[in-house]
Structures are given as structure tokens and as C-alpha cells.
Amino acid sequence: MRKKSTGTMPRYLKEVIITLVVVLSRLPFIFNSLGSDLDAWREVYTGKIWNEEHIYNVSRFPGYPFSEFIYSLIYDCPYWCINLLSVLFTAGCCLYFFRILEFFRIKLSFLISITFSFIPVIYINSTVAMEYNWSLFFLLGSAYSILNKKPWVAALFFGLIVSTRFNNLIFFPAFLFLSYYFTGQKVKKVFQFVMLSLLFVGIFFLPVILKYGTHFLQSSGASEVSYPTLLSLGTLHIYGTIGIAVLFLSLIIQLFKGGVQKIKNLKKDHFMLFCIIMILSNLIFFIKYPLEAGYLIPSIPFVLILLQNILDQKLMKFVLYGLLISPFFIHINTKKVDLKGIIFVNEGYEDQELEYCKNLIKKIEILSKDTPAIFHVGNFSEQILLMGNFKKNDKLKIVKNLTQKDRNIIINKKHTLYYINTVDGKIENNQTHMLELHGRLFYKDFELAK
């Protein structure tokens, strides 16, 4: 697969340019919120409790100890400061990706590395407090370390991959394959990588294991979606409308130009086989747990590498330029076609959610002035607690779910129960009927205007 490199610009200069492009292109979008995904707020709030009360509770199962610990150090910083971490991790992703491409002397390595950061799902997650791009940084770092025959570093990174997102353990077979073929097919080296990786996974995941034992092996969300939604999450939400259009068009054109033979040649290249294993592993996991488009982020760099080997250079440039503009123009959802790209639409989603939570906090402050109260705000609890910065007292409690102690207090009329309609609230109410029997609906439902 090694090809002759083209271009005379020094590598360090290219890396500086890649870093500047990534950082500067993100700065306008990191100031207003931690993101529209409530999981980001949960992680930061978990960090706050870890720091202030020295109690570790997972933000959601199976646990995300690395990002939760980092947030315990910076949870009280401004939004832009917290989001800047994702920007820097994304820049690091691009640098490792560039080095992998340069290792194989792949043509267009510079353009591919920059374009990679503009793929819509990568772009959005580089501007919010989600850990998807953090995890990808460690994944690419581990792969690059294996290519350079550094098993200790690769294993360290693999431990961080898993501690950032536990489901990335599914990529272990692919990394074993890569380790075998790029350490001289030496079983001893592979065994060393295996043992060190498992050791680092155990060390970095220790807070979760000590707190929950094996009970952390559970999912925090439902995984049933319709086939149209699944297709949309795996295409439009990843590459954007323009991006997916140029991808399909280029593949069709290449097919008529002899693309079948190029695909057949891929099986002769061990790194190409590694890319295919990564993509298939990621896709199978996503079909099983199709919660968010971000679940497919680990496969994106390997999709780009495969495309570069399948498409002619002119077609590859066409794809890359399409992906470059994809975040900024045309977003399609089930209700309308928006000329603005997904990055601007996502900013609107964040603003709507922030405004809703600000109004909710004002209402809570008014209702809690005179009467001891428990406010059941379900899946908004972490964002409300973080934004409102409520102090602990006996008169006011904001909860995601009611404990048995909470229920006893409410039944005995010691506290008034207020609630909003949320998914968590509806599930709990179906089980206990506490909300309908003892609660007062105090604010409207959140409805995202798309």
C-alpha cells in the first residue's frame, strides 16, 4: 500500500496548518452551550460531584471514567473552556490521522486530514463536551503506535480508548490483527500488547469497577429505532446531505470506470483489511445499538482511507471538497429541508434547550421560595443542577428519579412534588404512579423546533 508521496511542504508545517485550521474553524461554535446532547451535561455534572463531594457516580452506564475525571478538574470553567478540550482532541485526531496517511505515503494525505475534521458528525462533536472525538484520538494514536512498533504506547492508548468509551472494546480483535502483521508476525509481541492493553483497561476503569463491580455492564438507553431513522443516522447525520450525495455519485462513477478490480485488490493489503474489520465491527455494533450517529465516528477515518484506495484521484478530490462544505450547507430532516448546514442547525438546537432550562430554573426558584419542594425534572436534572448551581438545603431538591425516602416525604406531605413530562418521569410514573397521584405539573414539555 505504500505509495510515493507528493508535495514539497515540510511535514511539521502541514501539521501546524492542520492544527490551526481545526482550532480556528471551531472557535465561533464553542461559546453558547456544552451541547444539545444531555449526556455531555451528565458527564460534566458527574465531574462536579466527584470533585465537590468526593463521590463517584457514573454519568450513565457502562461509565466514562476518563472524561468524567477530567471534567472533575474543570467543571466550573466557562462553557468555551470545557468545549475547547474537544477542539484540541479533534486537532490531535487529525494529526495522528495525517501521520498514518504519511506512514503509507498516501496521496492527498494533507487534504484528507483537514477534510476529515469537517465531516459533520466530527465537526459537531468537536465543539461540545462529548467524548466521541476524545476516544477517536486515542484510537488513532494506538493504531499509529502499532505501526511504529511501540506496543507499550499502543496499549496505553488502548486503555484510554476503553476508559473514554467502553464499547470501543469491540475493536480489540482488529487491533490484534494489526499488531500481528505490523510487529513482524511475532506472537510474543502480540501477547505483550494484549496483556498490557488489558492491564491499562483495568487500571483506567478501576473507579467504575470498585463502585459497581460487574453491574456496570449495562446500557443506559433504548436501542429500537425505525429503519428510515437507522439509515438517516448512518448516512445524513454522519456525512451531511452534500457529503453523502458526492460519496454515492463518486462511487457510481468509479464503478463504471473499473472500481470492482480496485476493490478486489484491497484484500492483498493487511492495513486495508484492518480498515475493513474496523468498519464492519463499528457497523455491527451500531446496528445493534443505534442510539446516536456518533457511534459510527470510529469508522470514519478508515472509510476515508478505503475511498482513497478505491476512487481515482480526481473523484477523491471531488468527495473531499464536498465533505469540506457539507457541515455548512443544506440539512434535511423529517420535517423540512434547511439551506443552513447541520452545524448552524445544531447551534439552534442548543439555544432552544438553553432557553428552556433557563426558564425552568426561574420557575423552580419562584416555586421553592416559600414551600419545601421536590422537583422531578427527569433527564434534564444534570443540566438544571449544573446551570442553576443550586445549593444543597432541606427545602429544595431536584431529582432525576424519586428515591424511597423522597416518596415517603411526599406522601407524608412534608414536601410538595412538582414535575415536568420527561421520558424518565413517564417510565417511573408507570411503575409507581407517584407523579399522577401526588405531583403537580409545573412547566410545559420541551419541544425541539426542527
Q: What confidence tens digit (pLDDT) does each residue in 371-430 have?
A: 899 999 999 999 999 999 888 777 899 999 999 999 999 999 889 999 999 988 999 999
In this prediction, residues 40-60 reach a mean pLDDT of 96
Residue 11 above 90 pLDDT? Answer: no
In this prediction, residues 251-276 reach a mean pLDDT of 80
For the entire predicted model, the pTM comes to 0.94
When pLDDT is cut at 50, 70 and 90, the band that residue 207 belongs to is very high
Of residues 417 and 183, the one with the higher pLDDT is: 417
When pLDDT is cut at 50, 70 and 90, the band that residue 218 belongs to is confident
Query: What does the DSSP assignment read for 246-287?
Result: HHHHHHHHHHHTTHHHHHHHGGG-HHHHHHHHHHHHHHHHHH
When pLDDT is cut at 50, 70 and 90, the band that residue 250 belongs to is very high
Q: Is 94 helix (H, G, I), strand (E, B) or coil?
A: helix
Task: Provide the mean pLDDT of the chain.
Answer: 92
- The string of pLDDT tens digits covering residues 62-95 is 999 999 999 999 999 999 999 999 999 999 999 9
List own/partner pairs for 200-203 with CB under 8 A and 24 or more apart.
200/155, 200/156, 200/158, 200/159, 200/160, 201/158, 201/159, 201/162, 201/163, 201/169, 203/159
In this prediction, residues 159-174 reach a mean pLDDT of 96
